[in-house]
A and B are shown apart, each in its own frame.
Chain A
Amino acid sequence: MRLDNDIQHDVEAELKWNPEIDSTDIAAKVTNGAVALYGLARNHHEKHQAELSVKRVAGVGAVANDLAIRPNAADKVSDPDIARDALKALKQELPATWDKLRLMVRDGRVVIEGAVNWQYVRTRAEEAVRRVPGIVDIRNSIHVQPAILDGDIKYGIEAAFHRSAVVDCDHILVEVLGSEVTLSGKVRSWVERDEAHQAAWSAPGVTSVVDALTVRSSKY
């Protein structure tokens, strides 16, 4: 396993490297491959970008994103304005399903709720809202209520893993209990982990995917 010092050095370099973020007030602490991010980001989008940057680095096993959003008087947006922009963003992102969702905004903190048929809708809703200026925090309380309960979930997911260029199906175990999927085993990167989740959530009928995967870099 990589030394924490080496991971720390690379995480700091990667944060500086990402042109989408200003890492001046962002700090990272690495313990046994788990990275804690703290300090200040300019907005929610930057906070998220910092997390994505860290996940690209070899040796990073887990990330705790404790970045706070820098309070900036000039950027202050009223709650009604945030709500209006968030609704607009949702409508543009999900023209067919936005009306199944509800938004609540309080002091720049947004909660999204509702029931949708697929995880991808849940993910895209959060991505859409993340772009809205003035947001301090997003809580995604949308739940997935599949319309179709069809087919062998375990078989479908394993077949998806098998044809994937990125996921190594020999090292991941798929367990299914009702509509809940648990993924366990080892992946070599966050890219592989995300692909595994994407495949799992594509199975018709899945309501939750539990992540028991460990990210262990095959480099170093």
Chain B
Amino acid sequence: MKSDDDIKRDVDNELNWNPEIDSTDIATKATSGTVTLSGFARNFYEKHQAEVSVKRVAGVVAVANDLAVPPKHSDRISDPELAREAVIALKMELPVSWQNIKIMVHDGRVVLEGTVEWQFSRERAVTAIRRLRGVLDVRNSIQVKPVLVAGDVKADIEAAFKRNAVIDANQVAVEVRGPEVTLRGEVRSWAERDQAYQTAWSAPGVMNVVDELTIRT
């Protein structure tokens, strides 16, 4: 297994390598494969990018993203103006679902509420808001309320895993209880974990996916 020293070294190098991040004020710690990010990111998008970068590194099993985003005078934008920008961004990202999503802005911190049919809409709502100037934080309280009736969810997800180029279907178990799917087993990387998670959410009728996958190192 990769040592924590090696993991920290690689995580630091990966953060320095990513041109989208200024890692000057980012501190990292690795403990048994769990990486903790602390310090400061310049904006919320960069905070997210730092987490994405860490997840690319071999040996990383979990990430705690404690990066703070201090309000910056140059990005200062009033709450009503940010809310307006957020609505425009959301409308463009989700031309059909935006109407069911409520946006609340307080001191640059955005909360999203409402319901959508699919998880992909829920995630794209955050993606749309995350990159806006002046955003310090985004909390996603949108709920997924499926409209399509579930078929054989377990069989459908397992078939999707089998045809996926990255997922080792033999190592991942799918358990279905009502509208909730639980994934258990081992994957080889965050990329594989993300694929499995996204795929499970594509089954019609799914309201929640519990990710209990572990990354094998």
Contacts and interface: CB of A to CB of B under 8 A. Distances in A.
Contacts of B10: 163
A217 B19 contact: no
Nearest to A11: B163
A195 B191 contact: yes
A57 B163 contact: yes
Nearest to A120: B20
Interface string B158-196: 011001111010000000000000000000111100010
Contacts of A207: none
B144 to A, nearest CB: 11
Interface in B103-155: 117-118, 120, 131-133
Interface stretch (B23-31, B63-71, B86-94): B86-94
Interface in B66-84: none
A136 B82 CA distance: 30
A189 B56 contact: no
Contacts of A92: 85, 88-89, 131-133
Contacts of B18: 202
Given A57-B165, A88-B88, A92-B85, A164 B57 contact: yes
A10 B189 contact: no
A101 interface: no
B35 interface: no
A35 interface: no
B58 interface: yes
Nearest to B156: A17
A164 B2 CA distance: 13
B14 interface: yes
A19 B120 contact: yes
Interface residues of A, number: 41
A29 interface: no
Given A120-B19, A188-B165, A166 B92 contact: no
Given A19-B120, A88-B88, A191-B165, A93 B59 contact: no
Interface in A126-159: 131-133, 156, 159
B92 A56 contact: no
A194 to B, nearest CB: 9
Nearest to A218: B165
A19 B165 contact: no
B37 interface: no
A178 interface: no
Contacts of B164: 56-58
Q: Which of B19, B60, B159, B160 has the most CB of A within 10 A?
A: B19
11 contacts: A13-B159, A14-B160, A20-B120, A56-B163, A56-B166, A56-B195, A133-B92, A165-B190, A191-B195, A202-B18, A202-B19
Given A59-B165, A189-B166, 18 more contacts: A10-B163, A13-B160, A18-B202, A19-B202, A56-B163, A56-B166, A56-B195, A85-B92, A88-B92, A89-B92, A118-B19, A131-B92, A163-B14, A164-B57, A166-B56, A190-B165, A195-B56, A202-B17
Interface of A: 10, 13-14, 17-20, 55-60, 85, 88-89, 92-93, 95, 118, 120, 131-133, 156, 159-160, 163-166, 188-191, 195, 199, 202, 204, 217, 219
Interface of B: 10, 13-14, 17-20, 55-60, 85, 88-89, 92-93, 95, 117-118, 120, 131-133, 156, 159-160, 163-166, 168, 188-191, 195, 202, 204, 215
